[in-house]
Amino acid sequence: MATSNVEVVYVGVPGPPGAGITSGELSSIQGDISSLQSDMSTAQSDISTAQGDISALQGEVDDLAGVWLNWSFDGGGSAISVGAKQWVTIPYDCTITVHPVDNRFWQATIDPAGAISFDLWVDSYANFPPTSGDRICGTLGSQNPRVTATNARNSSSNTSGWTLALVGGQYLWVSVVSVTNATFANLAVYVVRS
């Protein structure tokens, strides 16, 4: 029967046989673990901060989804005439809402100063053209877009009485209800994509 000599080789940090790690080595490892735990806590805090930043950026991206729908009216040197004037096709589902910076959802300007009153109607392609029965701007004279007295501009942040949800493909029509002096006018309504 043959016998062989087996040599055992220990690899690692040298120390007395059977002693394992030294107290200095244990202290160093514990310090490293404590440092890693501190780094992990800092990383978790950084992640929370980043999540907050992402939420804020998402809000800013949502703000960028908003646009002003604009209509311009030119009387060619004479006062603008009354009646149904212009429309836009709603490009996508959207909501009429207050602009986050300007704090208004409609604004009207005229030149020269005077007065103007607008009515807004919305309807589908199948029911085109919209009529006054399709009004979305609340009560005329109190909720609809208008410039009063001898002013040149007006706006509102009060959406009370308005139908705010618009569907892509609908037509939003503007009718001029009354005019005093104004030969040029602009109406803008702010919408945010749904």
The domain ranges of the chain are 15-64, 67-193
| pLDDT, position 45 | 86
130-137 long-range contacts, Cβ below 8 Å, gap at least 24? 130/87, 130/171, 130/172, 130/173, 132/175, 134/173, 136/96, 136/162, 136/163, 136/172, 137/161, 137/162
Model confidence at 15: pLDDT above 60: no
Average the pLDDT over 24-29 and give the result: 82
Residue range 67-193 in CATH 1.10.3470? no
Average the pLDDT over 50-79 and give the result: 83
CA 28 to chain CA mean position, Å: 52
Model confidence at 50: pLDDT above 90: no
State pTM to two decimals: 0.67
